[in-house]
Structure 1
Amino acid sequence: MGIKPCSFFLAVLVGFATTPINADIVKPFSTMSGLDDGWSALDFPRVDRHTRYTLITEDETQVVQADTDNSASGRIARISIEPGEKMLLRWRWKVSSVYENGDARQKNGDDYPARIYVAFAFQPEKAGLLERAKRKAVEVFYGNELPGNALNYIWANRLPLGAMVPNPYTDETRMIAVTSGGEKAGEWVTVERDIVSDYRTAFGEPPPTIIGIGIMTDSDNTGESATAWYGDIELIRIEPSQKAAGDAS
C-alpha cells in the first residue's frame, strides 16, 4: 500500500460575464493526438502498480479510459492560471462500479474509481519554518516542486453527496463528494463546481494560482478494481462585468 498526496449547466449570474479559458491550457481529451498530448503521467512513491490509461472512442467522441486493479497513478495537465473571483470546473465521467471498502475518511479506504483534482501553488509566506524545511527536503529527494493545497472532486462510496472532508493522509487536501454511490454506475454524469467557492470553504481564504488539473483512478489501498471514463475537462472564468446590472447604457 502506497501513500498518495493527495448537473450540467452554466449559471450566468446577473452582473457577471463568462470568459472561456484557452483550450490549450487544459487540453481536451477529445482532441488529443496521443496520451501525452498536453498531459503527463503522475506516479507516486512506493506505488509500484500503475493504473492503465488509454484513449478510446465512445459515441464518436474520444475520451480517456482508466483501468485499475490494486494500482494507482494519474495523469496531470500542468498549468498556471489565476482563479479570479469565480472559476468553474466542468467535466463528465463514468465508472463501472464503486469500491465495497472505499471510505474517504480512512487511509485504507482512500481509493476512488474516479477523481478530478486541482492543485494550487504553495505559499511559503504562510508556512512555518519547519514546514518549509520538510517540503524542501522532499523536493530535493524526489526532484519535483511540491504543490500547496489541493481540492479532490471524487466519485465516493460512503461519503454523502456534497460532503467535504480532509484527506486522511494530509490536511492540505480536501475531498469533495460530487458523485456518490453506485446508483449511476455505467452512466455518464456531468459535474460543475466553482473552484474559488470550494477553496474558500475548504481553507478559509481565496485560492492562489492553480498549477495543475489531474485525473486519477486508484485502488491500491482497497485492493479492488474498476474502470472509469473521463470526458473533456473545462475551465470557465466568471468575471464581474464592467457594468452593474441596472446601469444605464
Structure 2
Amino acid sequence: MKNRLIRALPGAVVVSLLVACAAHAPQFGEQSQASLASPSRGEGSYQQAQWRTAVDELLKTPPGGDAWQPFLLPGKRFADFELAGQSARAALSVSADGSVSILRKRFDKALPDVDRIAFSWKVDGLPDDARLGEAGKDDAPVRILLSFDGDRSKWTGRNHRMSEMSRLLTGEELPYATLMYVWANHDAPETVIVNARTDRIRKVVVESGAQQVGRWRDYQRNIREDFVRAFGEEPGPLRAVAIMTDTDNTQSSLRAWYGSMTLTVR
C-alpha cells in the first residue's frame, strides 16, 4: 500500500524529499572500472567502508553529517553508482535504464553559510523527449540537488498539503526549498525552471542540448547568487546535497559520470 502511494506522489516532491531527508580522489585508468558498486544490496561492512572512503574523497563537503548513501525509491528501478575512471579522472558512473538513481548526504546540523559548489559530469546521451518544466517528462541525465531550511509559514496551502503527504508516506517533510543544477534537453543555459507541481523546487540549467554529449563539463557556481535568482530570497541553512540521474518518466537509457565535487561554506 505504501509503495503504491509513493508511486502516486508527484515525482518532484519525492526527489526533493529524498534530498532532505574529501583529499586526492582515487585514480583509475582510462575507462577502468572498480570492482565495487554502491552498497545498496547489503554488501559487507568492509566493502561499505571502501565505498564510503572513495566517495568522500570524490564528493567533498564540509565536515559532519551522514555518510553518502544510495536511496532506493519504492516502485522505481535503481541503477547502481559504480566507481570508475574516465580520461584519468576518478568518477562515479551510473547506467540508467528507465530508472531513478540518487546518492545523498544529509547534515545533522544544517550548514548556515553555504558559499560555492564546483562539480563536473559527463553523459553519453540525453533522455528521449525530456522536458524539465513538464510533469511526466521531468527527466535529466545528471543533477546536483541542494536542500534548504526556511520559514514554512510563507508556503501556500498546496505546498503544506504536499509536505504533509510526504511526511505521512516517508517520515520526512518536504524541504523548504530545493535548488537543482541540471542538464536540460532544450532550455537555454541559465534558465530557471519552476517545477510544474510545486514552486519549492527550482532548477538552474547549466548545460543544454546534445552538443557537449560525450565530453566532460566542469562548473563553478555561487550557490547564494543562484538561490536568490531562483527564489527571490536569501537561502536558509543547507540540510542536504545529492546527485541524481533519472530516466524513469521517459523510459530512456543512457550512461552518466559524476567527477569531483567540492562544496564550501563561508
- TM-score, normalised by the number of residues in structure 1: 0.77
Q: Is the 8 A contact 1:72 1:217 kept in 2?
A: yes
Name which of 16, 23, 30 aligns with 2:25.
Answer: 30
Q: Which has the larger radius of gyration?
A: 1
Distance 2:251 2:158 in 1: 35
Aligned length: 215
The Cα of 1:76 is off from its aligned counterpart by: 0.5
Structure 2 residue corresponding to 1:189, chosen from 203, 209, 217: 217
Q: Look up the match of 1:143.
A: 171
More off after superposition, 127-136 vs 102-111: 127-136
Q: Match of 1:154, SS?
A: strand
Selected match of 1:100 from 125, 128, 135: 128
**How far apart are the structure 2 equivalents of 1:69 and 1:186?**
18
SS in 2 for 1:217: strand
Q: Distance in 1 between matches of 2:233 and 2:102?
A: 28
Quick check: 2:76–2:248 contact (8 Å CA) kept in 1?
Answer: no
Q: State the percentage of identical aligned residues.
A: 27
1:225 aligns with 2:253: yes
| Counterpart position of 2:68 | 39
4+ long deviations beyond 6 Å: none
Equivalent of residue 5 in structure 1, options 8, 12, 37 = 12
Q: CA offsets per residue over residues 53-83 of structure 1, 9 Å max, x none?
A: 1111334443110111011131101122113
> How much does 1:30 deviate?
2.9
Q: 1:130 to 1:99 in 2, by over 3 A?
A: closer
Whether 1:199 aligns to 2:254 is no
How far 1:162 sits from its partner (Å)? 1.3
Q: Deviations over 1:159-181 (max 9, x none)?
A: 11111111123211111110111
> 1:51·1:74 contact (CA, 8 Å) conserved in 2?
no
2:240 counterpart residue number: 212
What is the CA–CA distance in structure 2 between the aligned matches of 1:219 and 1:130, rounded to whole Å?
27
Which residue identity does 2:130 align to in structure 1?
A: G
Tell me how far apart the structure 2 counterparts of residues 171 and 29 of structure 1 sit (CA, whole Å).
Answer: 38
Alignment of 1:110-189 (within 5 A): 110-127=138-155, 131-132=159-160, 135-189=163-217
Distance 1:146 1:50 in 2: 22
Mapped to 2, the partners of 1:157 and 1:232 lie a distance apart of: 23
> Unaligned regions of 5+ residues in structure 1, if any?
7-26, 239-249
Q: Quote the Cα distance in structure 2 between the aligned partners of 1:145 and 1:217.
A: 22
Letter in structure 1 aligned against 2:190: G
Q: Which has more helix, going by share of residues?
A: 2
